Structure 1
Amino acid sequence: MRVTQHRPRPSGMKSLVIVFTAVCAVLSFDLEPGDDAPLYHLKTLNGFVDRREMTVFYALDNRSAFVECLWTKNESVDHLIQNSSSDVQYVFMSFSESAEGHVSWMQNRLKSRVEFLSNETGIRFDGFLKRAHFVIHSAGKTGTWIDWLLGNWTCRDHGCGINQLNITTAASGNFSMRRLDSRYDWIPEAVEFTNKTLTLSDFGDGCTTTSKNLMKKLALVYRGGPANCTYFTKIQNAQQSNASGVIVYSTPDLPLVDMNCQGDECDHQLQIPGTMISYVDGMTLKMALTQGDVNVTFTILSSPLFYFGVDAEGRVQQTGWLLYPSFLFLTWQAEWFQYTKELNRNLSKPADVVPVFERTVMQGIVGATTIIEVPPMKDLQQYSNIELDMALSCPGTRDSTCAQWDHIVSLYICCNMSGPYCGQELGRWITPFRRRIGHWLTPVRPLLPFFDAKRCNFTMKLDASWAMPWLPSLNIRFSNKQQDNSNITVPHRIQPLFRGGKFNKFYNSRYAPISFYVGLNDVHVKLESVITGHGSDNHNCAEFCVTSHHFVVNGKYEYVQTFSNAGTPLGCARRVLDGVEPNEHGTWLYGRDGWCDGQEVLPWVVDITECVHQGKNDVKYFGLFNGKDPDPDPKVVPGYIMMYSNVIFYRKMDDSSMQDVI
């Protein structure tokens, strides 16, 4: 058995730094995520910034309509102002040779929106301006390590690269223009057209149906028009005319936006992609169409990195992907730094630590397994805190080396192969979409009876044989050791209850009430469960539908766990401070049924002592969808509920009786 006293490395950092910018390589620093960030000293409009505090850096590259949209969209700037913690600093930069003019424009944008929000809400946001710094030198020419990093850390996929349209015309030759693709998820992504060439056809304002056949063509559509119809209507009408995709050109007075559906429109998936260009570029294309054929090729130029960060420990970090142009994503990364700052504070507290895995390769359903010697039960019972310190990393040092899909990670324990607890689940996590920063501290003291022998087998595995590898690190932390045993109550016995299954019309019929017995020495009785919903039927169950799970004790005391967060647009994004890894590659933002991508699944524990009596008791379970029995279309594959549930019995530690008296 190896038990160590755990302390994180000391840090002189008081806060965090996030950096959003892009740059050309000048100096060589060979930095990787997790390395200590060197100092920097940058001249700004109001002086200098050189504090290694919680700071966000962003550099405008006006070749990218996406990066520029973060500033031109009021909603994005408002989110930055309203959702930023008071201990976060921001540094803004520009790649332009006229960087000082660009950052002056950014400063004026912030001042304008701060004034607007203060007048609208009655809340003063002036303090935000004191935490915003505007660098007057061009990004890439600051003479600091930032130049090297932004030129060498690649940026691909969502929010990265320079999206363009390459135009070939009969009369005007070839030229390029910026484009801003539509919001993801309601229509296919325009990236599917990359390096493909299609012929353009004028489709007016797209607000009315037409008999015009646009087979294998792109529809050029005006953003405005007398009908002022939605983007959904414009693209739907083009789709009905057999168009392969849509290019919307803006009005003279409005900047580019990431087109999105509205309300009930979002329930209907369209089948062709769309992108937006400026009014001037749109008029150029309309003129070219009067002179002959216009062919359009979608291209993506490589770009330097636009965003990165320095965390509370002074380490340089990636900031993930922006799924659409909004400063919200950058505030979520700042929240992650706040979360890890608090996590590290908790990890710095005294604890006896049993190492289990250390960046061990875990792949598929085989996973990783090890046998560890643990302290004897009489010693373990003296700790009032038992926690799983779990970190989940990837084969490489960058997020791009991480697996692309979310999977269930389960930790199973078996200390006594002939005992009742062998093979029980001790912890559960959900992998993120391509991020390597996950780290959680999960309380599991109620499951102490699982440690019923000196040598324990731990198996951590994924839920699919084809799942790509992850590198988990796991320590079991025993802390807050009590000296006076007379006041300690300890979990000494567990009775497993219900397991999950297919969430169909037969789901509840498989569960009969289960009896359990409360002994004379039992001073507390608790109900514990870990429940998550997965899969997708015609109701989006059980991943994105609201389910409730009901435990009825002795026929009249009902305890309910309801996952009302499921299916909400930002249900998981709003939980970064609870440990959800931000800015993942997929649809991590949406609320799920009892879980989020890139987060632990916390056990649900309720005290039922007042509802039980000595001797025989019983508990009944049933699960509902929107308050009713699940009843998916029998023609579709139903979702499923993954559940472990237990009754846990506590007694005083100084009770000399080792036998349960019923």
Structure 2
Amino acid sequence: MAAGDEGRQDDGHEEAHPRSVAVFGRAPCPTAVPPGYSGPALEAVMSPTLWIVLLSCTGSPSDDTGGAVGDSGDGGAGEALCDDGLRKREFQQAVQDDSLLAVAANTTIPTLAGDYILQDHWDGCDVMLFINDEPPQARSSDWGTALWERDVADLFARAPANTIFFFGSDHADAADREASLSMLQAEVVDAFRDMSDEERAWWEPRIHYVDGRFRDVYGWVGDVIRSPGWGAVLDRTQHIRYIGSYADVDRYSSSAGWFEPNLSMAANEAIYANYLAALAQHREDDGATVVTLWDRELISDTNWSGTRGRTTVQLPDADTMAGFDTLELDLTMHCNGAGEYGTCPPWDYLVYLYLCDEGQTEGCSTEFGRWITTYHRQAEWIHDVSDLLPLIAGGGTRTFEFYTTQEYEISLSLRLSNQGRDTRPVQTHFLFSGGAFDADYNDAYEPIEVEIPATARKVELATVISGHGQVSPGNCAEFCPTEHHFYVNGTDNVRVLDNAGTETGCMDMVDQGVVPNQYGTWWYGRSGWCPGWLVPMVVMDITDQVTPGATATFDYEGFRDGQPYESSGASIVLSSFLTIRQ
């Protein structure tokens, strides 16, 4: 297996993983591991997905060879590392600024245990959550239950071990603040009763109670609590982020027409912060040649007229392009304003990057990337689309288009690099697209023949699939599992989009880059996609199904429950490619 190809699967079935997000060659451990912190207690702290990824990393939960969070690990090159293998971040000096994504300045937080000076406690590995008792997204007056009244044990069970908590009351009256903190402290004591001694010893020094009114804390901490008031995240690169919605998929209120809050949803923010830390280090370490397509440029098509953003860039020359084996898309969707809820667009819509044919002036049709927007939050992703590298192998001047209905400030770049894979893509052939998913869906497809070069060392099938529409039966194709059969010389390679319709299928993928705590029904699994995520390119190795120097025949069918879908109104958005590697 080539370096950087760990996300591939060689059997041609759905278990093939998308080369995307946290899988940058070797998957980084997504959470810090406390020393001596093992057994069921640690499993409770991490989601199943995080646990699996952790076990694939160097060391194990009971391995004390690595440094504890806050200790200097041995990076092999004099670097200080966190327990998840990511670099420790030095504290940056900054001016007081409470804006979203600002670098946090040093400040002193008065706690019941004494002053907490941020710079003195900074270790470059932790994520800090600042949780207030009456945030506007979870006021007790709206729900009849205080945010801190329940779910405290679940919060500690779900939070990554490198989380630090600051709980503060923002009541104006001192007696009300004392009552609120006392209620929370009682819940914490109850949570500790069910922990092992090791767990309790780990979490106790990581829980801080703000002394005084939360908004009166000096600097950015108090300012963020005052407005917008959502609560804050200080991520591992020292940037200020907001806590999103606390809505719990299991707590629908028919009287409110929405979902009641759950304090433990804040843990998703810490999980996501660890994903962002891995993303930041990848940008620093991959040695990529970066070609910027757009840099915080406003793009939208609010009138649904088909208007696209368009840019022409200069790629490296063909000889330089021949030295790259990896192509990644790095997209950040900034909201046009200072906040998230009320500023960021509200809906989970498709957005696309298109590559124009050389000399093409409009209507570019080659899909180069696909994403789904969030409900009211900013987002960023990197994902691997190396199988499309041959489409730009000639280098030089190329034109791209970007489509989004809702208005965003788009920052999008190509990351070209050599990751030392044992092959590189040299030819890409488009195969099949999607369409209306109905009784006639499969009638549109005819076999396609492609000559496989005699020099081919590896042959791959790359697919990008997402299902849309909410049609009965099955709520298809957004929420119904569908099966997609790609036949190569008669051999069936199947992708089953079985995450569709699951209750927490998208929430379970926060560690892979799904934006957490969106202000909408973001938790539910969809058909090949999630709100606030990339639509992944899934690559299957089909080398054993073709013969170099001979013609290969490809065909495709799509079904629900093994049969054509009989209703109308659903759709499958599909791009599929054959890639030759040498």
Determine the structure 2 residue equivalent to 1:361: 298
CA distance in 2 between partners of 1:618 and 1:81 (Å) = 54
Is 1:475 matched with 2:553? Answer: no
C-alpha change, 1:596 and 1:14, in structure 2 (3 Å) is: farther
Residue 645 of structure 1: how far off its partner (Å): 0.5
Determine the structure 2 residue equivalent to 1:35: 102
Figure out how many residues of one structure are paired with residues of the other and give that number.
Answer: 459
- TM-score, structure 2 normalization: 0.74
Determine the structure 1 residue equivalent to 2:282: 346
CA distance in 2 between partners of 1:144 and 1:459 (Å) = 42
Is 1:107 matched with 2:185? Answer: yes
C-alpha change, 1:431 and 1:13, in structure 2 (3 Å) is: same
* 2:237 alignment partner, one of 309, 313, 316: 313
Of structures 1 and 2, the larger Rg is shown by 1
Residue 124 of structure 1: how far off its partner (Å): 4.4
C-alpha change, 1:78 and 1:628, in structure 2 (3 Å) is: farther
Residue 107 of structure 1: how far off its partner (Å): 2.0
Determine the structure 1 residue equivalent to 2:147: 70
CA distance in 1 between partners of 2:129 and 2:572 (Å) = 40
- Specify the SS of the correspondent of 2:435: strand
Determine the structure 2 residue equivalent to 1:543: 478
Deviates more, 1:106-115 or 1:337-346: 106-115
Taking CA–CA contacts closer than 8 Å with sequence separation of 6 or more, which of the two structures ends up with the larger relative contact order? 2
* 1:83 alignment partner, one of 136, 154, 158: 158
Determine the structure 2 residue equivalent to 1:228: none
Superposed CA offset, 1:30-68 (max 9, x none) = 631111222222233334433354111222248646495
C-alpha change, 1:15 and 1:63, in structure 2 (3 Å) is: farther
Superposed CA offset, 1:339-387 (max 9, x none) = 1111000001122111111112211231210111111233112122221
1:161-240 paired onto structure 2 within 5 Å: none
- TM-score, structure 1 normalization: 0.65
Residue 409 of structure 1: how far off its partner (Å): 1.0
- Specify the SS of the correspondent of 2:471: coil
* 1:60 alignment partner, one of 133, 155, 174: 133
Alpha carbons 1:415, 1:450 under 8 Å: kept: no
Is 1:376 matched with 2:317? Answer: yes
Deviates more, 1:508-517 or 1:347-356: 508-517
CA distance in 1 between partners of 2:198 and 2:446 (Å) = 55
* 2:557 alignment partner, one of 622, 634, 639: 622
- Specify the SS of the correspondent of 2:267: helix
1:44 alignment partner AA: T
C-alpha change, 1:542 and 1:126, in structure 2 (3 Å) is: farther
CA distance in 2 between partners of 1:491 and 1:54 (Å) = 39
Deviates more, 1:319-328 or 1:467-476: 319-328
CA distance in 1 between partners of 2:90 and 2:366 (Å) = 41
Residue 476 of structure 1: how far off its partner (Å): 1.0
Alpha carbons 2:477, 2:572 under 8 Å: kept: yes
Alpha carbons 1:78, 1:117 under 8 Å: kept: no
Alpha carbons 2:335, 2:344 under 8 Å: kept: yes
CA distance in 2 between partners of 1:507 and 1:104 (Å) = 61
Determine the structure 1 residue equivalent to 2:113: 46
Is 1:416 matched with 2:361? Answer: no
- Specify the SS of the correspondent of 1:401: coil
Is 1:554 matched with 2:478? Answer: no
1:92 alignment partner AA: F
Residue 131 of structure 1: how far off its partner (Å): 1.4
Alpha carbons 1:529, 1:603 under 8 Å: kept: yes
Determine the structure 1 residue equivalent to 2:541: 607
CA distance in 1 between partners of 2:191 and 2:200 (Å) = 9
Determine the structure 1 residue equivalent to 2:580: 649
Determine the structure 2 residue equivalent to 1:656: none
Gaps of at least 5 residues in structure 1 are 1-10, 17-27, 154-304, 652-662
Gaps of at least 5 residues in structure 2 are 1-86, 248-259
CA distance in 2 between partners of 1:100 and 1:449 (Å) = 64
Superposed CA offset, 1:298-355 (max 9, x none) = xxxxxxx141222222122222222231123211111121111110000011221111
Superposed CA offset, 1:166-212 (max 9, x none) = xxxxxxxxxxxxxxxxxxxxxxxxxxxxxxxxxxxxxxxxxxxxxxx
Alpha carbons 2:482, 2:558 under 8 Å: kept: yes
Is 1:133 matched with 2:202? Answer: no
Alpha carbons 2:130, 2:165 under 8 Å: kept: yes
Residue 13 of structure 1: how far off its partner (Å): 4.2
CA distance in 2 between partners of 1:312 and 1:111 (Å) = 28
CA distance in 1 between partners of 2:334 and 2:385 (Å) = 22
CA-based RMSD of the aligned residues comes to 2.7
C-alpha change, 1:306 and 1:650, in structure 2 (3 Å) is: closer
Alpha carbons 2:321, 2:393 under 8 Å: kept: no
Is 1:639 matched with 2:570? Answer: yes
Determine the structure 1 residue equivalent to 2:403: 461
Residue 474 of structure 1: how far off its partner (Å): 1.0
Alpha carbons 1:395, 1:401 under 8 Å: kept: yes
CA distance in 1 between partners of 2:311 and 2:494 (Å) = 36
2:98 alignment partner AA: L
Superposed CA offset, 1:481-502 (max 9, x none) = 66xxxx8532222221111011
Determine the structure 2 residue equivalent to 1:188: none
Determine the structure 2 residue equivalent to 1:388: 329
Q: % of aligned pairs identical? A: 28
C-alpha change, 1:132 and 1:561, in structure 2 (3 Å) is: same
CA distance in 2 between partners of 1:559 and 1:380 (Å) = 31
CA distance in 2 between partners of 1:64 and 1:477 (Å) = 48
